[in-house]
A = this chain, B = another copy of it.
């Protein structure tokens, strides 16, 4: 969920300065349009990690806007009046009116999120509150409100660095409070439960927008442009696909930097180290899957990747270490007629392993948001909601004990060309290269975007994507095996 917000987005000072005047003008125009024409309010929620620049950005945007048409509410501990009433009461009271922008600093998400982080409530109670929230937001959006929810993100290390920097400078040290440091200690639980909450409430009607908080220019432009686009869209009459639970991408990253771009695809590993590591890891995997504790779990491995990235070879290195009775490899191709007559996830549900079982998916349900999206086999609203449905599916598996490990094997366009050619030249490999592979290659950039969206929307702490630099097959196979072993170990020790 936070992948794209951790790869270091930046906008340099000059581009920023160049863009600001136009942006400010557009924002002001927008506000007046909103006032004149809109029979709906705009509600903006501001959340995120301390130090991720929430306050600075929102102050700046407040400056850029006409203050008479925007109202900012900061919510901290409820007062007596609020405490005597249902917990949503103070948020109801603060709702903006039609034609206005209301900005909530902290919101109805904060109460249950921090109650969970401080262990005052359990996850069932958290989910119950999220269900309350989902109904509240549905009411708001059905009533016409435009709801945008920002999460200002920072990795833990960057949070620490930023708090230290702020503290050192006498001009900004006042910004850092004890609460900030207490929250820093709680970074991991906050991240975990925030991600959980966002996964369950990321609806098309009220989407979450994760903003990389590190670089102020990038952050400010992203937030301003997101608001601008969303309100403009709505004013132009576009209504969100009601009931569609997954949020459409509100805005591609303004610096055009996608998660796959952050990978160094060429990683080296020689044959001797490879063989050594392979033996070691296969033994480790064998023992782990025979461990008594594994009987309460199951293992679901998902392999996706560029054509010719080496999925098959990686899968074989895994199954070599397994008892043939304990696993199944499920190769996934286009759905059959029977499968097409059922909900699209049905064919994957059928293949869910029982306790103690292992299923390896050679391609998977992610086809819905990759090939079906790129080739237009699925309609946009359908692949859009698939992100939410996939998260739901995988978390049902995980709740039942499954260990879910997902790999994207990435090779460079050049490496792929070399491998295609080699396959065509090698008799016994010729069946592995088809016209379709060449056609897919033509859509390289569309896949690049689809993969990035997929990772951002479906990588969760419990079912993370592992991006595998696969130009070197040895390196890739070892990374895959090690990741699988570590994932099992981690879960068995939980």
* A positions within 8 Å CB-CB of B: 41, 81, 84-89, 92-93, 95, 97-99, 122, 124-125, 127-128, 130-132, 134-136, 138-140, 142-143, 145, 200, 205, 241-245, 298, 338, 341-346, 349-350, 352-357, 382, 385, 388-389, 392, 396-397, 399-400
| Residues from chain B with Cβ under 8 Å of A135 in the complex | 245, 388, 392
- Minimum CB–CB distance from A76 to chain B (whole Å) comes to 19
| Residues from chain B with Cβ under 8 Å of A245 in the complex | 135, 138
Shortest 3 CB-CB contacts between residues of A and residues of B: A243-B243, A84-B354, A242-B243
Nearest neighbor of A356 in chain B, beta-carbon distance: B84
Distance, CA A430 to CA B431, complexed state (A) = 93
Nearest neighbor of A141 in chain B, beta-carbon distance: B243
Is there contact, CB below 8 Å, between A143 and B343?
Answer: yes
Is there contact, CB below 8 Å, between B92 and A346?
Answer: yes
Distance, CA A67 to CA B399, complexed state (A) = 37
Nearest neighbor of A125 in chain B, beta-carbon distance: B124
Is there contact, CB below 8 Å, between B355 and A84?
Answer: yes
Distance, CA A136 to CA B385, complexed state (A) = 12
Which of A86, A205, A245, A353 gathers the greatest number of chain B CB atoms within 10 Å? A86
Distance, CA A259 to CA B84, complexed state (A) = 36
Is there contact, CB below 8 Å, between A343 and B139?
Answer: yes
| Residues from chain B with Cβ under 8 Å of A356 in the complex | 84
- Minimum CB–CB distance from A246 to chain B (whole Å) comes to 10
Distance, CA A397 to CA B241, complexed state (A) = 31
Nearest neighbor of A40 in chain B, beta-carbon distance: B341
- Minimum CB–CB distance from A129 to chain B (whole Å) comes to 9
Q: List 20 A-B contacts (CB under 8 A).
A: A81-B354, A84-B298, A84-B357, A85-B352, A85-B400, A86-B352, A89-B349, A93-B350, A99-B341, A130-B131, A131-B134, A135-B245, A135-B388, A138-B243, A139-B392, A142-B382, A143-B343, A205-B243, A242-B242, A242-B244
Q: Which of B84, B92, B338, B355 contacts A97 (CB 8 A)?
A: B338
| Residues from chain B with Cβ under 8 Å of A124 in the complex | 122, 124-125, 127-128
| Residues from chain B with Cβ under 8 Å of A357 in the complex | 84
Is there contact, CB below 8 Å, between B131 and A127?
Answer: yes
| Residues from chain B with Cβ under 8 Å of A139 in the complex | 343, 345, 385, 389, 392
| Residues from chain B with Cβ under 8 Å of A346 in the complex | 92-93, 95
Distance, CA A88 to CA B346, complexed state (A) = 11
- Minimum CB–CB distance from A413 to chain B (whole Å) comes to 36
Nearest neighbor of A240 in chain B, beta-carbon distance: B243
Distance, CA A355 to CA B124, complexed state (A) = 26
Is there contact, CB below 8 Å, between A385 and B99?
Answer: no
- Minimum CB–CB distance from A70 to chain B (whole Å) comes to 15
Known: A81-B354, A143-B344. A396 touches B242 (CB 8 A): no
Q: Which of B93, B142, B244, B344 contacts A349 (CB 8 A)?
A: B93
Is there contact, CB below 8 Å, between B349 and A92?
Answer: yes
Distance, CA A193 to CA B342, complexed state (A) = 31
| Residues from chain B with Cβ under 8 Å of A41 in the complex | 341-342
| Residues from chain B with Cβ under 8 Å of A382 in the complex | 142
Not counting A86-B396, A89-B349, A132-B396, a sample of 15 additional A-B residue pairs whose C-beta atoms are within 8 angstroms of each other reads A84-B354, A86-B352, A86-B399, A86-B400, A92-B345, A92-B349, A97-B341, A122-B124, A128-B128, A131-B134, A135-B245, A139-B385, A139-B392, A241-B242, A243-B244
Distance, CA A145 to CA B343, complexed state (A) = 9
Nearest neighbor of A144 in chain B, beta-carbon distance: B343
Q: Which of B95, B130, B200, B388 contacts A343 (CB 8 A)?
A: B95
- Minimum CB–CB distance from A240 to chain B (whole Å) comes to 9
Nearest neighbor of A99 in chain B, beta-carbon distance: B341
| Residues from chain B with Cβ under 8 Å of A344 in the complex | 143
Distance, CA A400 to CA B200, complexed state (A) = 24
- Minimum CB–CB distance from A112 to chain B (whole Å) comes to 12
- Minimum CB–CB distance from A134 to chain B (whole Å) comes to 8
Q: Which of B242, B342, B355 contacts A95 (CB 8 A)?
A: B342
Nearest neighbor of A136 in chain B, beta-carbon distance: B392
| Residues from chain B with Cβ under 8 Å of A145 in the complex | 343
Nearest neighbor of A392 in chain B, beta-carbon distance: B135
Distance, CA A97 to CA B337, complexed state (A) = 10
Is there contact, CB below 8 Å, between A385 and B142?
Answer: yes
- Minimum CB–CB distance from A390 to chain B (whole Å) comes to 11
- Minimum CB–CB distance from A75 to chain B (whole Å) comes to 16
